[in-house]
Amino acid sequence: MPTHSVHDCGHHGAGSVSPLGGGAMVSEAVVDAVASAGFIAAHRCVGEIGAGRPVVLVDGDRQILVSPLDGGPIVGDTLALSAARATFVGIADGPAFVRVTGADPATLTLIATACTPDLSIAEVIEGGDLANAATELAKLAERLPAMTVGDAASAPAGTLSVAAADVLSFRRTLAATYVPVASAPVPLAAGATANVTAFRNAIGGCVSAVAVGDARPGTLVRVHSSCVTGDIFGSLKCDCGAQLRLALERIASDGGVLLYTAQEGRGIGLVNKLRAYSLQDSGLDTVDANIALGYHDDERDYAAAAVVLSHLGLGKVRLMTNNPAKAAGLESFGVSVTPVPLIGPVTPQNANYLATKRHRSGHRL
């Protein structure tokens, strides 16, 4: 079969365009957003939180100092908790600040991660956008979505600051910046030569498109989230590796495109996925383990995948998935989706995992 070439990619939609890396084009509005002081501040603050350093969050006249609970300095006696975590422990219906009596690191960690923490030492304070932005910043840095909170006036010299609104808009703005930057033919063990194209965003994140045959509307597509444990190590705890191999076999045989996206552990990252595994070993299922850590059941966002599909001219796809939320996620960004089942083997090790997918997440298994 002929391989799809990145040079065939057209520009979809009206409006002026500008280059953003690799010679590809994105809209002027996206270029302006990425060049804005707010986007740059958010990007830098994600890096600071990832490195375990505190930043100042600003919302109007309100300012707070926030620091990642896992690996950063404790900057106050208050925690910012995500809506998922606050709901899980029954203290609020949305993101919240929680002032903790005797706020040593061990106590704070129990409030943020224990299945049944001692809430008699916790006082809930209004959260709103500041608490939401604090935990979103932690998620973007793949930290535990719990931040210690202190007085902004106590921030060390040189501490960076960012507006809460810029943190909350960062993820969606970034997704719009994916452009193709490199492409080459790659022979696959599944039995075909694919054209593999790397799409890079404005800060260096990558989505790989593995295409066999001509990419045209109605093409068979798999949007696969990276899974180090399943795809690389061959873990039997999930069906990710089996689904990846099955998808590549179908694409090699019938033609199609596989997008490999960096959304490990349903978007929570490898470190937090391993934390969730530990909670599963203590009796929680996959859904509750993620929620207990402060995440939603599924944190994945399909905006980037939709942008890459648009670059490939694929506004209508046959999507290899058992997950209605994945189909709905792509459709929310204008991709027309016809689901195609992708059923991997059931093993003693992944039976409970698959049952949770079916009963709690609505997967068609």
298 is catalytic: yes
For the ranges 10-14, 81-85, 296-300, which has the lowest average pLDDT?
10-14
CATH fold of the domain at 6-20+177-263+300-361: Rossmann fold (3.40.50)
Mean pLDDT throughout 53-78? Answer: 96
Among this protein's residues, is 151 annotated catalytic?
A: no
Instruction: Identify the active-site residue in 70, 300, 301, 358.
Output: 300
Q: Are domains 6-20+177-263+300-361 and 37-172 of this chain identical in fold?
A: no
| Whether the predicted pLDDT of 21 surpasses 50 | no
The model's confidence at residue 5, banded by pLDDT at 50, 70 and 90, is very low
The alpha carbons of the chain give a radius of gyration, in whole angstroms, of 22
What's the pLDDT score for residue 24?
A: 58
- Architecture in CATH for domain 37-172: Alpha-Beta Complex (3.90)
The backbone torsions φ and ψ at residue 357, rounded to the nearest 5 degrees and listed phi first, read: -55, -45
pTM summary value: 0.88
> Tell me, what's the pLDDT at 326?
94
Q: Which of 70, 239, 285, 298 is catalytic?
A: 298
Q: Where are the domains of the chain?
A: 6-20+177-263+300-361, 37-172
